[in-house]
Amino acid sequence: MKDDVTREERVDALGGMGCKRKRVEDARFTQGKGNYVDDIKLDGMMFADFVRSPYAHARIKSINIDAAMALDGVAAVLTAEDLKPLNLTWMPTLAGDKQMVLADGKVLFQGQEVAFVVAKDRYIAADAVELVEVEYEELPVITDPFEALKSDVVLREDTVDENGTAVDGAHGPRGHHNHIFKWEMGDEPATNEVMDDAEVVAEETMYYHRTHPCPLETCGSVASMDKVNGKLTLWGTFQAPHVVRTVASLLSGIEEHNIRVVSPDIGGGFGNKVGVYPGYVCSIVASIVTGKPVKWVEDRMENLMSTAFARDYWMKGKISATKDGKITGLHCHVTADHGAFDACADPSKFPAGFMNICTGSYDIPVAYLGVDGVYTNKAPGGVSYRCSFRVTEAVYFIERMIEVLAIELNMDPAELRMKNFIKKEQFPYQAALGWEYDSGDYHTAWEKALKAVDYEGLRAEQAQRVEDFKAGKTRKLMGVGLTFFTEIVGAGPVKNCDILGMGMFDSCEIRIHPTGSAIARLGTISQGQGHATTFAQILATEIGLPADSITIEEGDTDTAPYGLGTYGSRSTPVAGAATALAGRKIRAKAQMIAAYLLEVHDDDVEFDVDRFVVKGAPEKFKTMKEIAYAAYNQAIPGVEPGLEAVSYYDPPNMTYPFGAYVCVMDIDVDTGVTDIRRFYALDDCGTRINPMIIDGQIHGGLTEALAVALGQEIAYDSLGNVKTGTLMDFFLPTAWEVPNYETDFTVTPSPHHPIGAKGVGESPHVGGVPCFSNAVNDAFKAFGLRHTHMPHDHWRIWKTANDLGLHG
């Protein structure tokens, strides 16, 4: 058989790994043809809406639903009393705590769900919400975690026994009734000893403010209980649909095979859609009660006020070094504000996520981390907003501590980093707080970044600017923000990572069709990451069929293999590995078929791009398309018909992407207005599957980093009222606020991942936040600033300048 095309052309025709394939999802998203939860319309569907608490802490004296029920079109009003017979007044959280589904006698945060109104349409539901009369008795409000740990006020009555003594929590003894857990890693005595004897010690306390992932699509669900066949179908904004099915089965008693959970298109998650919300549970109950499909979709204010927040960590650090800048130890203590319920989404054994990656990219011989989780009268959550579990907090902490240490040492912070990086030859590297870093080449990346931005030139320009400022020639200061981050993603090995007991593997199932196209289903779910594009590219390279001939499907638990979902940059490290390995199973069978068709021994054929060829005789080959046809239509002795494979992948280790970022910022000292002149981002995510999608991910993650660093917060007043409940006050950047980003890369493949990929979606956020923040801090360094808290919005920057006496 003659072949006119070159090998290179055959590679290009696949659209496999490494090419800038256009996102196949965008045709429908850009034309308004996506199918989101709120697009789902079913016959006879009812709409639901919540009555929410206006108070942050109050006893509920009575709830009167009569007027609401009397309204024409109202089908039901559920309260905690209705959930009691079903044992659903409270539900378990992913963090081992429990959470009220509907207020059980009291409310613990503003916006808490009190009653669930079900009506013929959403207008009637909204009217009925106003007619539910709830009588509250206000209780003392605590919004400060340090006050919570001193207060006599018992926020959660289930934390004390009949004598008022604190009972153990999910992670051990409580030190106080408002204390959730204490989590410790590392060696505190050894760390203290190093600190006591150190030549130089730098200390700083930093508040990583509470913020919110704020996906464009808010949370919602549609539940449909078919009483005839006993099947429940639940569509929802779920980052982990299979886990939702299991949890729904455990909570409801409905057998798991009778529950179908579907995540349709999801408009962004960023951690906000990992957990289970009262709305999901109530929509199921309401469908069972009314016998009709019930839709619940929250509005923007409800999303910001009541669904999972991120961060809210008070971090107290100590870092020690020799006089010439070799780091000798690190001590970190966190007071973690979890709000009213510990609903943080972390692997079960990690109540503070992977905060113990806080030794960063540095070879630190001894370290200690202690985290105290605390209840307050704020919304529950503590999810990983565009980061692996608490990694943004960890990287912010170490990258600020490095800057503070550089000030203490009077050393350039770029040089201090270079001096302390883990060396290439030290990998796999065993970190002091327990992790084994798989691979890295930090020095190369750092040198490339500093050269790209002309680091020395920037420092010279900055020094001149300081002189000009002091001479009254300018009112603008210049900051150079540096960050070198190491992420820990791809959770994770089943031996230490589980969610509610379910191991954090993931999966892929492939079916090759007779004509040489394919469908692959995964246990993950895209929320905008472009899985349908990139996973097809992995498969194209692995099985030699064009990416355009491969459909990727996720999110329907009736069809997709079980998986733990998409968050924490785990899709490529875990499901991507499963995809590659399932592809290799396909290839192994295809090899036998090819050998049979070519009348040679199995070992005498080899895979080449899109075909198997006879070794030494490349003109003799069978394409994968031909092999697929033969698999279904030709009787091959000893080989089953069909060409399918499934793979479940339990990763041997996490993956550790890293990167080097530089931000150049001008700051108007008089108004506090910042102007990002330049942002350079070098990312090493191992093997690069689609460079265009990587760039898109980096642009998005940096933009969310800019938001968090420069103004995005969930703020409360002393009465627990949310002050930032709308997008007027909650900062969501637009194209106008976003600078040009320069992206760059190095490639250090993961040694334990089948294709060497490490994950990238969250790196830019993890690295971006400290980089923007370091730029602000750096601008004022020449005037004596050591640290100022985020968010760096106009008035706080102005206050920093004012406190330094820069307003004359």
Partner 1 sequence: MIPAAFEYYRPKDMAGVLAVLEEHGDDARVLAGGHSLIPMMKLRMAEVPHLIDLQDVAGLTGITIENGTVRLGTMTTQATMIDDAALLAAAPIMREAALQIADPQVRYMGTVGGNVANGDPGNDMPGLMQCLDATFHLVGPDGDRDVAAREFYEAAYMTDREDDEVLVAVSFPAPEGGYAYEKQKRKIGDYATAAAAVQITKENGVCATASIAMTNLSDTPIYSEEAGEALIGTSVDEAAVEAAVAAMLGDIDPTEDNRGPIEFKRHAAAVILRRAIARAWSRA
Q: Which residues are catalytically annotated?
A: 239, 386-387, 762
Does residue 666 interact with partner 1 by CB under 8 A?
no
Question: Using CB atoms within 10 A of its CB, is residue 167 exposed (0-12), middle (13-18) or buried (19+)?
Answer: exposed
Rounded Cα gap, residues 179 and 309, in angstroms: 19
Taking contact as CB under 8 A, which single stretch among the options 141-149, 296-304, 458-466, 605-613 is the one that binds partner 1? 296-304
CB of residue 35 to partner 1, shortest distance in Å: 22
- Among 184-192, 248-256, 371-379, 728-736, the segment contacting partner 1 (CB under 8 A): 728-736
Nearer to partner 1, 447 or 793 (CB): 793
Nearer to partner 1, 29 or 123 (CB): 123
The candidate with the shortest Cα–Cα distance to 49, out of 301, 269, 249, is 301
Determine if 157 is a binding residue for partner 1 (CB under 8 A).
no
Residues comprising the chain, all counted? 808
Nearer to partner 1, 148 or 706 (CB): 706
Cα gap 266→278, rounded to integer Å: 19
Nearer to partner 1, 469 or 649 (CB): 469
Residue 733 interacts with partner 1 (CB under 8 A): yes or no: yes
Q: How many residues contact partner 1, by CB under 8 A? A: 32
Q: Confirm if 507 and 649 have CB atoms less than 8 A apart.
A: yes
**H helices present in 44-144, as ranges:** 66-70, 80-83, 122-131
Nearer to partner 1, 158 or 299 (CB): 299
- Cα(84)–Cα(90) distance, integer angstroms: 9
**Site for partner 1 contains 671 (CB under 8 A):** yes
Render 190-230 in DSSP notation, one character per residue. Answer: HHHHHHHH-SEEEEEEEEEEEE----SS--EEEEEEETTTT
Applying the rule CB under 8 A, the residues between 769 and 808 that interact with partner 1 are 793-795, 798-799, 802, 807
Give the integer Cα–Cα distance in Å for 385 and 19.
29
Answer yes or no whether residue 120 interacts with partner 1 by CB under 8 A.
no
The span from the CA of 523 to the CA of 535, in Å, is 12
Task: Write down the least CB distance from residue 802 to partner 1, Å.
Answer: 8
What burial class does residue 117 get, using C-beta atoms within 10 Å of its C-beta: 0-12 exposed, 13-18 middle, 19+ buried?
buried
CB of residue 374 vs partner 1: minimum separation in angstroms? 25
Span interacting with partner 1, options 401-409, 623-631, 638-646, 668-676, rule CB under 8 A: 668-676
Please state the separation of Cα 21 from the chain's center in Å: 25
Which position among 28, 61, 451, 723 is part of the footprint of partner 1 (CB under 8 A)?
A: 723
Q: Please, are residues 186 and 369 in contact by the beta-carbon 8 Å criterion? A: yes
724 binds partner 1 (CB under 8 A): yes
Q: Which of 516, 711, 754, 767 binds partner 1 (CB under 8 A)?
A: 711
Q: Which stretch binds partner 1 (CB under 8 A): 189-197, 460-468, 667-675, 681-689?
A: 667-675
316/771 Cα distance (integer angstroms):
19
Span of 125-133, 137-145, 257-265, 442-450 interacting with partner 1 by CB under 8 A: 125-133
User: Using the rule CB under 8 A, is 45 a contact of partner 1?
Assistant: no
Shortest approach of partner 1 to residue 724 CB, angstroms?
6
401 exposure class (CB count in 10 Å sphere: 0-12, 13-18, 19+) = buried
Cα angle 273, 278, 279; round to 5? 75
Contact yes or no for 485/226 (Cβ under 8 A): no
Report in angstroms how near the CB of residue 101 gets to partner 1 at its nearest. 23
> Among residues 514 and 733, whose Cβ is nearest to partner 1?
733
The answer to whether 767 and 704 have CB atoms below 8 angstroms apart is no
Choice from 650, 729, 744, 803 touching partner 1 (CB under 8 A) = 729
- In whole angstroms, give the CA distance from residue 402 to residue 676: 22
Verify binding: residue 67, partner 1, rule CB under 8 A: no
Judged by CB under 8 A, the stretch of 254-262, 461-469, 581-589, 726-734 that binds partner 1 is 726-734
Among 69, 301, 639, 785, binds partner 1 (CB under 8 A): 301
Burial class (CB in 10 A: 0-12, 13-18, 19+), 56: buried
127 binds partner 1, rule: CB under 8 A = yes
Closest by Cα among 624, 565, 545 to 589: 624
Q: Does 150 interact with partner 1 (rule: CB under 8 A)? A: no
Give yes or no for residue 699 binding partner 1 (CB under 8 A).
no
**Residue numbers of the site for partner 1 (CB under 8 A)?**
49, 122-123, 125-127, 130, 299-301, 670-673, 711, 715, 723-724, 728-729, 731, 733-734, 736-737, 793-795, 798-799, 802, 807
